[in-house]
Amino acid sequence: MTPLEVAVSVLVAAGVFFVFVGAVGLIRLPDVYTRAHASSKADTLGAGFALAAVMLSFGFSSQAVKTAVLLIFVYVSSPTAAHAISRAAYRSGVEPWTAGDGDGGEEG
């Protein structure tokens, strides 16, 4: 294996790992705020690593620049969208989960 192959494989694996973490957070956490918190951070990192792998495999070219633009856009837009959704949830009266609510989860 060449160093490039190793680097691309490691970056793809890291991206899949963080998308997995985001999916687990989205399924397991108790309310919309914690879910947005987990999914936006893990998903941004996952997209970052995976798109870095894409950039590396395209090499030094205009495609790599296009992928970098895509990466910057995902980095800016994903947390902004999560913030807007959380704020919409707060405005429409979704109560934040607290330790007193017990396991919460499915109903909360």
Query: Can you read off the two tokens belonging to residue 66?
Result: 């296009």
Q: Is 72 in contact with 23 (CB distance < 8 Å)?
A: no
Least distance to another protein, CB of residue 50, Å: 5
Closest to 55 measured CA to CA, from 71, 42, 67: 67
Rounded Cα–Cα distance for residues 88 and 84 (Å) = 6
Task: Return the structure tokens found at 35.
Answer: 């879910």
Task: Kindly tell me which of 60 and 92 has the beta carbon lying closer to another protein.
Answer: 92
DSSP 29: S
Residues found near another protein in the complex (CB under 8 A) = 1, 4-5, 8-9, 12-13, 15-16, 19-20, 22-23, 26-27, 32, 35-36, 39-40, 43-44, 46-47, 50-51, 53-54, 57-58, 63, 66-67, 69-70, 73-74, 77-78, 80-89, 91-92, 94, 106-108
Q: Which is nearer to another protein, 74 or 101 (CB)?
A: 74
Nearer to another protein, 23 or 101 (CB): 23
